[in-house]
Amino acid sequence: MIRNAIQRFMYGRYGNDQLNLFLMTLYLLLYLVSMFVRSELLYWVSFALLFFTLFRLLSRNLERRRMENIRFMRAAGPVINWIHFRRATRRDKEHVYFKCPSCGQRLRVPRGRGKITVTCRSCGASFQEKS
């Protein structure tokens, strides 16, 4: 019953996205820092972030919220991709990662094969690397 009421309330509203997750994380970080530093300014800035996050979450202007998220992802996308790539390379003990010298494409080759010739799938360039 409560679930249906929540679904009816949220119908036509924007909901959550990557920008809201970032804003909520930033809110929590600023709130915790304001507690330890005892800064009233940080407290009010964090409160404003929380208010803006809830505003975006409950907004009915879907197109505007989508455009905000697209702009955020354009700005933060390279950083997010770099973090995901670093995490994958640390976890993957069976492969070595290289960048193509011609186009910059990331390539993965099996570890422990010695010196091998790698051909880039993107641009077709061949180069030798030690795995």
Instruction: Dig out the tokens for 96 from the structure.
Output: 């070595």
pTM over 0.85? The answer is no
pLDDT for 120-131, tens place per residue? 888 877 777 766
Asked if 100 and 123 touch (Cβ cutoff 8 Å), the reply is yes
In single-letter form, the type of residue at position 13 comes to: R
Buried b (16+ CB within 10 A) or exposed e, 6-25: eeeeeeeebeebebbebbbe
The predicted-structure confidence for 64-95, as pLDDT tens digits, reads as follows: 889 998 999 999 988 988 888 888 888 888 88
